[in-house]
Amino acid sequence: MKEIDLNENDRKLLALCNNHPLPINYIARRLNLTPASISIRVKKLKEAGLVLTKSKGKGTKTYVRTKKEINVKSFEVEILKKLKEAQNSEMDFKEFSQLAPFDPLDKNSYDRSMAFNSIIYSNPPRVKKKFYLTEEGEKFLKENVKDEKEEKK
C-alpha cells in the first residue's frame, strides 16, 4: 500500500461507497464527474488499500466499496455463535434468518445479507438445510473467534 493525498472528490467517493458496493457510473453521476475520472481515482485508492473493486470481466460494471467498513466475517461469526447457542436444534429458513435480523435501514444490511449467503453457500458447508452447524462451521468459528479476540487487543 502506498500513501495517497486525498482530495475532496476522493473523500466524497469514499463516503459514498462506505456501506455497500456501487458501480462506477453511479458514483460518477452522484459526484458530477466522468466515469473515466472516477476510474482513475478508484485505481489510486485501490493501490493505497482504501477500496476494493469487483467486476465480472471486461466491459462489465465495476463495483467499488470502502475496504475498512466490510464486516461480513464478524456477522458470520455472530450468526454461527447464535446457531450454536440454540444447541444445534434444526431450524427452518425463517428461524435461521432471525438469528441476525435484516433491517433495510441498517447501514450494515449489505454485509449481513452477504454473511447469510456466505454461510449458506460456503463449500464445504458451514450449515446444512434445516440449519444446524457442521464440522466446517465449528472450525470456522474456532478460527475466527480467535482472530476477533486478537484484533480487539
Q: Where are the domains of the chain?
A: 8-69, 72-152
- Helix or strand holding residue 65 (H, E): strand 62-66
CA distance readout (Å), 89 to 76, 86, 92, 95, 135: 18, 6, 10, 11, 15
CA distance 91 to 128: 10
Per-residue model confidence as pLDDT tens digits over 69-123: 667 777 888 888 888 877 656 777 777 777 777 676 676 777 777 787 777 777 7
Tell me which CATH code domain 8-69 carries. Answer: 1.10.10.10
Instruction: For residue 6, name the pLDDT band (cuts at 50, 70, 90).
Output: confident
Q: What is the pTM of this model?
A: 0.55
Q: What cell numbers appear for 141 in the block?
A: 468459528
Q: What cell numbers appear for 64 in the block?
A: 467499488
Question: Given this model, what pLDDT does residue 147 score?
Answer: 58
Question: Given this model, what pLDDT does residue 118 score?
Answer: 78
Per-residue model confidence as pLDDT tens digits over 51-60: 888 887 776 6
Instruction: For residue 34, name the pLDDT band (cuts at 50, 70, 90).
Output: very high
* 112 or 23: which leads in pLDDT: 23
